[in-house]
Structure 1
Amino acid sequence: LAEIIFVDTTPFVKSYFQDPEDHIYDWRGINPRKHYIANLLKDVECALRESNAKWKIVVGHHAIKSVGHHGDTKELATHLLPILKANNVDFYMNGHDHCLEHISDTESPIQFLTSGAGSKAWRGDVKQLNREGLKFFYDGQGFMSVQLTQSNAEIAFYDVDGKILHRWNAIKQFGDHSSI
């Protein structure tokens, strides 16, 4: 029914290597970075290409597209997104930004879903750029649910009291590997 692929997105973020600020990262096994990322992308592409799942979902910590505090992760948009598009991925899910959001890709059926509002919320901290495709944004605390069948996907975003803030459905026809 579904295949979920988790991607370690932290090594993609160049600034973590160049200017880690007060963070301490253990990069053993990651360096050389370019080699690690190339192998990771090859593995992701192979797994997606070989997948016969009705729904293909990729999960990473960092957003590819976001209007939240951190915004888009350019390195993921450059390196990972083309692989997702080429392999008919339905959903890319992430946290990192402390918000709930749903963005539809303007060039493919991919839906970008952020659920990073479990604890600290950054009220009013919204990027004014890249609002194209934005279906929903909430800067309070909450969570997301996903329900899948052979032909239907239902994504729902909730506040902390369980009130549905946004609901979105995708339908697939038999043999179709792109969400509508």
Structure 2
Amino acid sequence: MMDLQVFTLLALLPGLQCLPTSFQNLQQSGRNQTSIRFLAVGDWGGVPYPPYITPVERATAQEMGKAAEKMGADFVLSLGDNFYYTGVDSVDSPRFQETFEHVYTAESLNIPWYVLAGNHDHAGNVQAQIDYSHKSDRWRFPSFYYELNFRIPNTKRTLTIIMLDTVMMCGNSNDFADEQPRGPLNSMDAEQQFAWLQKRMARSKADFLLVAGHYPVWSVSEHGPTQCLLKRLRPLLVKHKATAYLCGHDHNLQYLHESDVGYVVSGAGNFLDPDTRHWHHVPKNTLKFFTGQASTLGGFVHAEVAKDKMTLTFLQAKGTSLYRTVLPRRDIDDEDGDRDMD
């Protein structure tokens, strides 16, 4: 059985330095594996009243289990809005059981879930979600923002995933009153996260560099492009040749490709929204795929990162693939690809 080695560089609370943890081993399947596989799903957070889940969440969870079994999955990226509508109030909230543990029950989903917070989570106690990491074997939420580094098995390639708190960066948004974040609650925290992100991206020699957050950079749906991220994050993604940015927030599946960066919206884990009011607010010809139709029953993304390419497959809860695209390894100067993670 091959081990997938991963170490996590945590962004600790404001004012503290980031310290690396020790290497961890994630157990992979019994094959001689040469890739990392994961699922990405956002906005899966049920409802705050019985039965605490939606039909879309249930259907999506069931199909995630099947996809993880058939296509393989080493972990899940949870892209925010983990608990509707106001997050959780404490680490002992029954919502962790009602909307998470009792829903994603497939053995193939008994893998690490790397979590970040969305705007609805920030309406409650995000620290309680972080603390739940100590109570769950699979819930991994070490800090508001953090970095994950992986070695792709049986290759010299590496994968880095930077998990952001875009609500801390840009501010919360009231989905029922206005669509754009209203500015960070604490500008010092926001600037510290941006500075940390800039440093991490500038130093990265990973063969595949992914950034994940809740708010979209580009989106054609209800919330549209996030102006704060267009101004502050997009230039970093382009400058440092990020492979892709993954997010949720809009309740559908989208893929856009702009300035050699892939933009994945995977927010169909609990609700579906076919809204395309911002269709003309993204650069021409950048939108490659969109669906938010109720007939899909929900959806998520499967990613496979191999030696020289990353394959993204958009899946509907009905059980079929809707769209697939391939992204290349980062073109940063290195002859043999045996790169220093630091």
TM-score between both structures, scaled by the size of structure 2: 0.45
Matched residue, 1:95 = 248
Q: What does residue range 63-142 of structure 1 map to in structure 2 within 5 Å?
A: 63-105=216-258, 108-123=259-274, 125-127=275-277, 128-131=279-282, 132=284, 133-140=286-293, 141-142=298-299
Bigger mean CA offset, 110-119 vs 163-172: 163-172
- The match for 2:210 among 57, 77, 80 is 57
Bigger mean CA offset, 58-67 vs 162-171: 162-171
1:38, distance to aligned residue in structure 2 (A): 1.4
- The match for 1:176 among 331, 337, 342 is 331
Matched residue, 1:26 = none
Tell me how far apart the structure 2 counterparts of residues 121 and 37 of structure 1 sit (CA, whole Å).
30
SS of aligned partner of 1:66: coil
Whether the 8 Å contact between 1:55 and 1:177 is mirrored in structure 2 is no
Contiguous gaps of at least 5 residues in structure 2: 1-157, 178-183, 334-342
1:126, distance to aligned residue in structure 2 (A): 1.0
Q: What does residue range 41-56 of structure 1 map to in structure 2 within 5 Å?
A: 41-56=194-209
- Structure 1 residues 149 and 135 mapped into 2: Cα distance closer, same or farther (>3 Å)? same
1:104, distance to aligned residue in structure 2 (A): 0.6
SS of aligned partner of 2:211: strand
- The match for 1:143 among 282, 290, 300 is 300
TM-score between both structures, scaled by the size of structure 1: 0.82
Bigger mean CA offset, 5-14 vs 146-155: 5-14
- Structure 1 residues 161 and 20 mapped into 2: Cα distance closer, same or farther (>3 Å)? closer
Matched residue, 2:118 = none
Aligned length: 163
SS of aligned partner of 2:281: coil
The one-letter amino acid paired with 1:126 is T
Tell me how far apart the structure 2 counterparts of residues 45 and 145 of structure 1 sit (CA, whole Å).
27
SS of aligned partner of 1:101: strand
Matched residue, 1:27 = none
Contiguous gaps of at least 5 residues in structure 1: 23-29
- The match for 1:9 among 156, 159, 166 is 166
1:14, distance to aligned residue in structure 2 (A): 4.6
1:37, distance to aligned residue in structure 2 (A): 1.6
Tell me how far apart the structure 1 counterparts of residues 171 and 270 of structure 2 sit (CA, whole Å).
26
Whether the 8 Å contact between 2:219 and 2:225 is mirrored in structure 1 is yes
1:12, distance to aligned residue in structure 2 (A): 3.4
Whether the 8 Å contact between 2:161 and 2:212 is mirrored in structure 1 is yes
Which one has the largest radius of gyration?
Answer: 2
Percentage of pairs with the same residue: 25
For the aligned residue pairs, the C-alpha RMSD in angstroms reads 2.2
